Structure 1
């Protein structure tokens, strides 16, 4: 009897192993099939003319503060072909849209968002944000970018970072690419760019040698690197951070340059670094303001926000992490957050006054803020910090376009530029709050009326279900 059991044991082990392997490959096949078949959709009409005349509008071209009154914009195949006073326009073969003396500015660009679902890209476009830079990419972002470019649904144009590079010790194993080996980091830079990511995102925990290798390899490939500084490298060779296209978060100046002190003399040195190396700052005041509100006003603040616009999977994660942390903050921590929040506003204004180039980014998707509404929050917070409205709008258009290497296509209203436009009731320079309610949004010449924007806003509340959200991430974890 014992011999019989010994003989059958290996067979049972092999049978169990075979079942496990079969189960694994079956799941992998389902994930692959999902990746190939799952698509975005919209109730809006997909076929939209990209040629028209926008007549009788006041243009804020963002090539200077002067408004061009009573002008006409001619768009052909999604590109601006003529800008002229009304009397000079005679284009009978194109549809004419009466602008009714509204104000027109370039479409907004949010250079720091986390697009956690297709609904987030729709939310952004509904608010007049025609382009977003996604700071923490996964394979499904490349898929969504392709779908948008193919016109399968509508949302903000996606510029997609690589998965976030971070150290093995500090990186999130479920979301970051964790690496301590410089050679492996270099290879990963090559691989991610070959896979279709637009640029490389770096995080603060990276070791100096690894961070330096990433910057060097990206420079060799001619691709940009954006993100957090490496604290290790800041102590060893600060100047190497001059290779960053954008430095993310005023909070990182406070943490890294100032050592978490309210030290304006050190802030002056930080400003000098940014100016000397032509590194732009993305302040992201909105996300720090969110956590300040959560920690001080607790559930009252949470109840006032549009929680239905947060994808359920993300909301579940936040309820177990960020929400719990800030809602349970002690009075001492809440007070500290208020003080830091106020100083970050001061710090951002100081950076502007010292000539640091600012690029608008909200960090929407990282907490309660959503791309689009959080973008406008960021604009209003920067204005409230004392930065002139025109400078803030420049950060959201001209400077943001430079941050994504599209400043010859986006960020201004000019002949030869793409027709990404926001039509507003009032001049946003004098009435910044008019950005809250765009009359019309135009992206690559496709016109979205107020009714279309309402539909997009509704679709921004229609999220992928839990299963799809989990499968997307499993697909990344298994296939990279």
Structure 2
């Protein structure tokens, strides 16, 4: 399930604004809304002496930050001092300080302690910050030359005014301005300010921050902001998409077909109108007159990759996936309208992204409900939700941790009656064995399989206990025990698919302040400076990892071994990340190799195997005449070295072609 990663580089959390009051203290509150449900708030107090005091918190299934920050702001908008205390998204302690004396800047947090001499205006980005800090940055940049300002410890940010609009709600009318912030994330992030340049809102498909009393105007803000996002997406698609309006001949390629696991040398593949029309030795396949030619020069050609666990969003997600060779994804929970609009834009060529298979998401009502607008506590509610998803063309139902266990058999039956698969988290107070016996087709996340053997330690898995219990105890799980063998036999008997997403535990079970997992190392030399800083900081780890690093490491290794055992035992594995496909699918597949799965079989899992689960294997996942021409050209040979999948050079997605390097560079990432 998609997570709000307050400690991750792409989650410079929400947005607010500072304006010191000369008449006295002023307090403003912002409501945090997660998928339509109020999840928390930010309260900001503007003091006469220029200090800004901020409290920020939200609850996301028992996770979520709780921060208290005090800022002193200089006349030019830069920070004179910052102090933040509290807890981050995964409840690790936060204690951060930053001060300036002349040109001497000093800061200390959980991962960094540094002093640096810096002349001129510079803005310090806290490692963990409330939403208000982002807008303090925007105000500082607006005062700087060319609306551009250097960042500490690294990077540069620029602000661009987009437009001014009037919104009308129950609290009245408000004149607001939209600003785009670049340099911190891979694509622009957006902030709404009022006429006094105070925070008004920040909106996205998943989470919205809006001034208290104006929550009802978010649809208007969505509309205005989406217009700007669509403009940028269409410009990006126009610049980086090569429309294959005539036949394409890929010559001199080494072709891998997952159906046979064979690699054929010196091949030509012809593509016409988005389909493969011929495959064979380059010496024998004639290239049609007028065809476009792509000389592979011996590079590795294979079907496009599939990521079976995403929560795709506009902005960088689609282009990142395509640049990395991911041509199909399965979205396992999203806001319906936002997802449909994105799919429509991509399919029409107005944006860049993979093909999307949709799964409808539902959860029960509880203090730990997942971010959704679809709640199911009765069979009737379940029937209505499933009928709705089926009528809209969804292919799967995903249930979540607060669903009542006694409802699962009925939900399975109703989903199957509509021709839909059913998968999900194993609901709280239920074992994976019981979930399988109730008829589930698939289980998300390898930790839920481990939890089957930890039921005596944790039953309520709606909270982060579903992570900590595994981190603390999976190291002792005997994978050769009769209990594990019986469980695997049950998976096989019921033909249950497993979506391990083992790579999400890479950060969770390894990272702690100043120490990051080895899986992130390949990203360090490629991503923008702000991302590099957060990776090195070692965020995203569970709070107790520093206390027992060996235990958590061994538990992670046991989860990896479990994946390999499942595959060797004949259980169907699908490859998914629950993350940004373009940056993390290669790591997921590397871990499958580490689990003992031969590389050629791993490539099959990530292509034809995934297509088989979704019953699309007659058109996708092979390099054969008649198949859809979703193809990637790779430098190297991932049948020998899986990390070569990070060297995708060209991507063909049916009737359009992309150069990976150009797409990566457009997002500030080195190819």
**TM-score, normalising length: structure 2:** 0.58
Q: Distance in 1 between matches of 2:545 and 2:624?
A: 52
Q: Which residue of 2 aligns with 1:148?
A: 346
**What is the CA deviation profile of residues 328-383 of structure 1, one whole-angstrom value per residue up to 9, with x for unaligned ones?**
4353353432121011011111111111111111221xxxxx32220001111111
Q: Which residue of 2 aligns with 1:125?
A: 322
Question: In the superposition, relative to structure 1, how do residues 107 and 29 fare at CA in structure 2: closer, same or farther (>3 Å)?
Answer: closer
Matched, 1:223 2:424: no
Question: In the superposition, relative to structure 1, how do residues 238 and 332 fare at CA in structure 2: closer, same or farther (>3 Å)?
Answer: same
> How big is the shift at 1:197?
3.8
- Partner residue of 1:185 out of 368, 374, 382: 382
Q: Which residue of 2 aligns with 1:112?
A: 309
Q: Which residue of 2 aligns with 1:457?
A: 664
Q: Distance in 2 between matches of 1:137 and 1:433?
A: 30
1:400-439 equivalence runs, <5 A: 400-439=610-649
SS in 2 for 1:226: strand
SS in 2 for 1:167: coil
Q: Distance in 2 between matches of 1:326 and 1:282?
A: 22
SS in 1 for 2:627: coil
Q: Distance in 1 between matches of 2:543 and 2:429?
A: 31
CA contact under 8 A between 2:277 and 2:625: conserved in structure 1?
Answer: yes
CA contact under 8 A between 1:383 and 1:392: conserved in structure 2?
Answer: yes
Q: Distance in 2 between matches of 1:106 and 1:95?
A: 20
- Partner residue of 1:295 out of 482, 496, 512: 512
Q: Distance in 1 between matches of 2:520 and 2:454?
A: 35
SS in 1 for 2:389: helix
> How big is the shift at 1:288?
0.5
Q: Distance in 1 between matches of 2:550 and 2:322?
A: 36
CA contact under 8 A between 1:142 and 1:160: conserved in structure 2?
Answer: no
> How big is the shift at 1:190?
1.3
Q: Which residue of 2 aligns with 1:135?
A: 332
Q: Which residue of 2 aligns with 1:363?
A: 578
Q: Which residue of 2 aligns with 1:79?
A: 275
Q: Which residue of 2 aligns with 1:477?
A: none
Q: Which residue of 1 aligns with 2:587?
A: 377
- Partner residue of 1:275 out of 479, 492, 509: 492
CA contact under 8 A between 2:545 and 2:552: conserved in structure 1?
Answer: no
SS in 1 for 2:278: strand
CA contact under 8 A between 2:240 and 2:663: conserved in structure 1?
Answer: no
Q: Distance in 2 between matches of 1:176 and 1:362?
A: 23
**What is the CA deviation profile of residues 162-217 of structure 1, one whole-angstrom value per residue up to 9, with x for unaligned ones?**
2x322212543644633211210111111233345442211233112322232122
Q: Distance in 2 between matches of 1:412 and 1:73?
A: 12
CA contact under 8 A between 1:421 and 1:443: conserved in structure 2?
Answer: yes
Question: In the superposition, relative to structure 1, how do residues 25 and 65 fare at CA in structure 2: closer, same or farther (>3 Å)?
Answer: closer
**Unaligned 5+ residue runs, structure 1?**
1-17, 365-369, 463-480
> How big is the shift at 1:160?
2.4
Q: Which residue of 2 aligns with 1:10?
A: none
> How big is the shift at 1:147?
0.8
Q: Distance in 1 between matches of 2:274 and 2:390?
A: 28
Question: In the superposition, relative to structure 1, how do residues 414 and 171 fare at CA in structure 2: closer, same or farther (>3 Å)?
Answer: farther
**Unaligned 5+ residue runs, structure 2?**
1-167, 174-213, 456-469
Question: In the superposition, relative to structure 1, how do residues 277 and 302 fare at CA in structure 2: closer, same or farther (>3 Å)?
Answer: closer
SS in 1 for 2:512: helix
Q: Distance in 2 between matches of 1:281 and 1:236?
A: 13
Matched, 1:49 2:244: yes
> How big is the shift at 1:65?
2.0
1:6-21 equivalence runs, <5 A: 20=170
Q: Distance in 2 between matches of 1:454 and 1:274?
A: 41
Q: Distance in 2 between matches of 1:52 and 1:333?
A: 55
Question: In the superposition, relative to structure 1, how do residues 149 and 330 fare at CA in structure 2: closer, same or farther (>3 Å)?
Answer: closer
Q: Which residue of 1 aligns with 2:192?
A: none
Q: Distance in 1 between matches of 2:507 and 2:389?
A: 32
Moved more, 127-136 or 33-42: 33-42
**TM-score, normalising length: structure 1:** 0.80
Q: Distance in 2 between matches of 1:63 and 1:325?
A: 38
| Length, aligned pairs only | 429
Q: Which residue of 2 aligns with 1:160?
A: 358
Question: In the superposition, relative to structure 1, how do residues 342 and 179 fare at CA in structure 2: closer, same or farther (>3 Å)?
Answer: same
Q: Distance in 2 between matches of 1:283 and 1:110?
A: 12
Moved more, 148-157 or 24-33: 24-33
CA contact under 8 A between 2:242 and 2:657: conserved in structure 1?
Answer: no
Q: Distance in 2 between matches of 1:72 and 1:302?
A: 35
Q: Distance in 2 between matches of 1:288 and 1:48?
A: 39
Q: Which residue of 2 aligns with 1:103?
A: 300
Q: Which residue of 1 aligns with 2:566?
A: 351
Q: Distance in 2 between matches of 1:357 and 1:335?
A: 30
Matched, 1:247 2:451: no
Question: In the superposition, relative to structure 1, how do residues 92 and 236 fare at CA in structure 2: closer, same or farther (>3 Å)?
Answer: closer
Q: Which structure carries more helix by proportion?
A: 1
SS in 2 for 1:201: strand
CA contact under 8 A between 1:58 and 1:101: conserved in structure 2?
Answer: yes
Question: In the superposition, relative to structure 1, how do residues 71 and 384 fare at CA in structure 2: closer, same or farther (>3 Å)?
Answer: same
